[in-house]
Amino acid sequence: MKPIRPMLFTLALGALAPAAPLRAQADTALANWHLLDPTADRVPGIGAERAYRELLAGRQPRDTVVVAIIDSGVEIDHPDLAGVIWTNPRERAGNGRDDDGNGYVDDVHGWDFLGGRDGRDVDNDTYEITRLYAACRAPGTTEVGGTACAEIRPDFERRRAEAVANLGQMRQIEATVTAVYALLRQHLGTQELTPAAVEAIRATDPRLQQARDIYLEVVRQGFTLEAIVEQRESIEGQVQFGMNPDFDPRGTVGDNYANPNERGYGNAEVEGPGADHGTHVAGIVAAMRNGSGVDGVAPAVRIMVLRAVPDGDERDKDVANAIRYAADNGARVVNMSFGKSHSPYKQVVDDAVRYAESKGVLLVHASGNDGANLDEGTNFPNQNYATGGRAGNWIEVGASSWHAEDLAADFSNYGRARVDVFAPGVTILSTLTDAEYGRNDGTSMAAPVVTGVAATLLSYFPELTATQVRQIILESATRHTGQTARPGAEGERVSFSELSATGGVVNLYAAIQLAQQRVRR
C-alpha cells in the first residue's frame, strides 16, 4: 500500500485523565534537523550542513546528477524545484513527436505511466491484494500471481474489515473533536484556538473541562482537526477504492494490462492529480539551496519525474517500466518511496532492477511504515530476486527520529537482513504542491535523504560506481548501540544496532570523508 504513515492517534471518549501541562511536554524538531550533525550539533541528522561548511567549502560539484523520482508526480513549477527539474535535451516540447526515438512522445521532464493518451490520469487505484481477490472470483481460479486463492480471500476480507472498522472509529473521533472545537471556540469567542489559550481555561462545567482535555490531548499527539479530517478522508478512499474489488481504473491508461512487458503507454503530464507525496520527496533530495524555502540534501541534481504511484498500490508493470526509463535516459540514482505486500509480476520488476544494475544505476527504496520486521515478512519491491541472489545496486532504508534516546521511528519497518541503513524520516520539512511547504513522516522521507547523499557523492566524485557509492554510504553510517523502542512493539526496547545491517544512520559528512580516501587510492 502507498506508504503514508497511519495516524497513531488514540482518544478516550469516556473518562479522560486531566491533561498534563503542555509546557512540560514541548517537543519540536528543528526545521532542518535532518541536515544537522550528530557530533557538532548534537542532533542525529546526516551532517550535511557540516559537510558543506567544512569539507566542501570552496569546491564546486564536478557533475550534475540526474535523479529519477518514481512516485505520485512532482509539481515541477514549485519555486524551490523549478530550477532543478530534468529536461530531456533530445526532445522538443509539444510537437507530438518522439524526437529522440525512445518510445515516449514529448517526454520533456519524464513520463506518467498512469496517464492515458487522451490526457486523463489515474488518481485512485486498488491495492494489490484487492486485484488478486478480484481475479480469484473468476470461476475455477485457484491461484493468482503465484499465491493460492485460499490464502488471498481471508487476507483480503480481514484487511477490508479492518479498513471499515477504522473508518467508523475515525468518523467518531472526527465528530468528537469537531464538537470540542466548536465548544471551545464559543467559550473563548474566537475561531483561532491556541494551546496556550485552551490550557488557561479553568472551568467548573464538566463538558468544557473535558473539551479542554481532549483538545490538549489532540495537540500533544501532534494532530489538528484538519489532520483528523484528512485521515478520515484517506480511510474513506481505502474503503471506496483501495479495498473495492469492483473498482478498476486501468481503462484510463488504455494499455494491455495483461501484457506486463508492454512499453510506451502513458503520457507526458508528470504532475498528475495528487503530487504532494512526490513533491515532498523531490524537495528532500534537491530543493534549491538558495537561502529561501527549504534546502535539499544535494546541491547539483536534476529531478527526472516518473509518475507510477497512484492513491493505492503501484503496479509491477509501471514500476518496471519506470526503472527502465530512468536507466535508459541518464539517471544515476532512482528513488522509490513506495511499497506493497504482494507482487504478482515480481520477475518483471527483477528484470528491470538487473537492467538498471547493468547500466550502473543505484536504486534507493523505502522499507515501509508497518513497524514490521522484514526478516519475517514481505514487502515489495525488494532487493532479493525471485530466482535467488540479491541486487548489488540497492539500498533499503528505515526511518529514524531526532530523539537520540528513541532513535528508531515507531512506524518504520526494520530487519538486519532486509534493511541496510536508517535515515531521518520523522517530521521532515519539505516542498508540497501549490508552492507550499510542510512536514511529513515516513520511510518515504528517509529514502530521499539517502538518495540525496548518493547524488552528492556522485556529483563531487563522478568516477564512483553505483556499487562503490552504496558501499561508502553503508560503511560511513553512524553506528548506534543505545536502546530504542522496537518499532511496532509498544513497551519493548532493543538495541538500535539490531534493526538494520549497518546498525546505523546515514552520514553525509563521514561519507564524503570516506569517498575522499577511496578516490585518492
Supply the CATH number for residue 360's domain. Answer: 3.40.50.200
Residue 493 lies in a domain: yes
- Give yes or no: residues 475 and 384 share one domain: yes
Say how many C-beta atoms besides its own lie within 10 A of residue 214's C-beta: 24
pLDDT value, residue 361: 98
Residue 328 lies in a domain: yes
CA triplet 128, 133, 139: central angle to 5 degrees? Answer: 140
Helices within 12-148 (DSSP H only)? 48-50, 128-136
Say how many C-beta atoms besides its own lie within 10 A of residue 256's C-beta: 11
- Give yes or no: residues 370 and 476 share one domain: yes
- Give yes or no: residues 195 and 113 share one domain: no
Residue 232 lies in a domain: yes
Residue 167 lies in a domain: yes
Torsions phi, psi for 307 (to 5 deg)? -90, 115
Helices within 58-146 (DSSP H only)? 128-136
pLDDT value, residue 490: 84
pLDDT value, residue 509: 98
Residue 3 lies in a domain: no
Contact residues for 352 (Cβ-Cβ < 8 A; gap 6+): 319, 320, 321, 323, 324, 327
Is 36 within 8 Å of 299 (Cβ atoms)?
Answer: no
- Give yes or no: residues 131 and 166 share one domain: yes
pLDDT value, residue 24: 32
pLDDT value, residue 14: 36
Burial class of 155 by CB neighbour count within 10 A (0 to 12, 13 to 18, 19+): middle
d(CA 291, CA 289): 6
Residue 256 lies in a domain: no
Contact residues for 519 (Cβ-Cβ < 8 A; gap 6+): 461, 463, 464
Low-confidence spans in the chain with pLDDT less than 50: 1-26
Final residue in a domain of this structure, among 185, 217, 247: 247
pLDDT value, residue 521: 53
Range of the domain at 351: 28-125+263-520
- Give yes or no: residues 140 and 115 share one domain: no
Final residue in a domain of this structure, among 214, 247, 280: 247
d(CA 292, CA 40): 24
- Give yes or no: residues 234 and 270 share one domain: no
pTM value is 0.92
- Give yes or no: residues 141 and 235 share one domain: yes
- Give yes or no: residues 209 and 235 share one domain: yes
Classified as helix, coil or strand, 207 is helix
d(CA 84, CA 61): 15
pLDDT value, residue 220: 85
Residue 8 lies in a domain: no
Residue 253 lies in a domain: no
Final residue in a domain of this structure, among 247, 275, 293: 247
- Give yes or no: residues 283 and 373 share one domain: yes
- Give yes or no: residues 188 and 135 share one domain: yes
pLDDT value, residue 221: 81
Is 395 within 8 Å of 367 (Cβ atoms)?
Answer: no
pLDDT value, residue 13: 38
Peptide bond into 381 cis (omega under 30): yes
Provide the number of structural domains found in the chain.
2
- Give yes or no: residues 153 and 114 share one domain: no
- Give yes or no: residues 343 and 277 share one domain: yes
